[in-house]
Chains A and B, each alone.
Chain A
Amino acid sequence: MIWLKENWKWLLATIGSLGLYAIVKAIIASMRKKKLEGLEEKEDVIIDNAHDIETDGIKDAGEAHTESVKDAHATATAAIKDAEDEREDRKDELEEDPKKLDDAIKGFGITEKK
């Protein structure tokens, strides 16, 4: 009791220092926790971004595929139309020119009997 009466100032100072140490430690722990939470949030953002990248890529791929198939069908339709026109022109050409008709028949390996 006497010791306490004589040294209470030192005891108070020591407790105060320890309290200060505890406060500093708590601040550091809180900063670390905040940093970890920040990293978790960053992780969520990255996962969302990755998902967006994948979704956009698949969407673009789908659109490109649709366009390609559409173009291919349009090209084929146009080519068929040209071929039909060509067929009619060719028919007219063969009807008008007997020599070409003969050549065409010979082209099939059919020989003319003289």
Chain B
Amino acid sequence: MILFLMSLAYGEAQYEKLKTGDTASFDGRLFNDEAVATMISQCEFNVNQCQIQNDLECTVKVADKQYEYDILKAQYDALDYKHENLMEIKEEELKVLRAQSKPQRSMWAFFGGFVIGTGTSVATVYAINQVMEK
């Protein structure tokens, strides 16, 4: 048996080992070994539990932040993909619309059109003449 006494008389934490029938040298509370072992093991358990709780909260917080990051990344990836591809399409669209509103007519195209038009007219007249002669 151990006498576990918190000494008030000496103003400091003390304990004294006692056997049954021994007289205590200061006022206090008597615990048996089992009670002291329970208190110490519970105290150590509380420290462990606190650490575990702390680790859990940390892990959950990290998971929450990772979740927020993943969502932002998903949004960013989608926007990046959309932006890249839409820019390409818009660029193509602009090319088509520019060609439509301001067609580039070079001198060659003009003369080419003139020659083809004239050629077609002459060919048509020639074909009509051929048909008329027959």
Hey, what's the 0/1 contact readout for B26-62 against A, CB within 8 Å counting as 1?
1000000110111011111100110011011001101
Contact of B96 with A35 in the complex, beta carbons under 8 Å: yes
B8 part of interface (Cβ distance < 8 Å): no
CB neighbours of A75 from chain B (8 A): 55-56, 59
Q: Specify the chain A residue showing the minimal Cβ separation from B6.
A: A110
Tally the A-B contacts, defined by beta carbons under 8 Å.
Answer: 183
CB neighbours of B6 from chain A (8 A): 110
Contact of B59 with A113 in the complex, beta carbons under 8 Å: no
Q: Is the interface of B mostly helix, strand, loop or mixed?
A: helix
Interface residues of A (CB under 8 A from B): 9-10, 12-14, 16-17, 20-21, 29, 32, 35-36, 39, 42-43, 46-47, 49-51, 53-54, 56-58, 60-62, 64-65, 68-69, 72-73, 75-76, 79-80, 83-84, 86-88, 90-92, 94-95, 98, 101, 104-105, 108-113
